[in-house]
Amino acid sequence: MATVDTAINAIHLVFAGLWAGSVLFVARAVVPAARDGDLDATPLRGFVGRFRTWSRVSSLALFLTGGHLAGTRYTAETLLGSTRGYLVLAMVVLWFVLTGLVEVGSGRLVDGLDERKVRSPAQSATPFFTAATVAAVALLALGGVLL
The amino acid at residue 33 is: A
Question: In Å, how far are 22, 111, 117 from 31, measured between CA atoms?
Answer: 12, 14, 13
pLDDT score for 113: 85
pLDDT score for 114: 79
Q: Looking at residues 58-70, what average pLDDT do you find?
A: 94
Quick: pLDDT tens for 87-120: 999 999 999 999 999 999 999 999 888 788 999 9
Q: Looking at residues 73-83, what average pLDDT do you find?
A: 90
pLDDT score for 31: 96
pLDDT surpassing 90 at residue 128: yes
pLDDT score for 16: 95
pLDDT surpassing 80 at residue 25: yes
Concatenated DSSP letters for 7-55?
A: HHHHHHHHHHHHHHHHHHHIIIIIHHHHHTT-S-HHHHHHHHHHHHHHH
pLDDT surpassing 70 at residue 1: no
pLDDT surpassing 80 at residue 49: yes
Cβ contacts of residue 22 below 8 Å, gap of 6+? 51, 54, 55, 58
| Rounded Cα distance, 14 and 90, in Å | 20
pLDDT score for 55: 96
Q: What is the mean pLDDT of the chain?
A: 93
pLDDT score for 8: 94
**Which of 9, 123, 1 is CA-nearest to residue 65?**
9
What's the pTM value of the predicted model, to 2 decimals?
Answer: 0.92
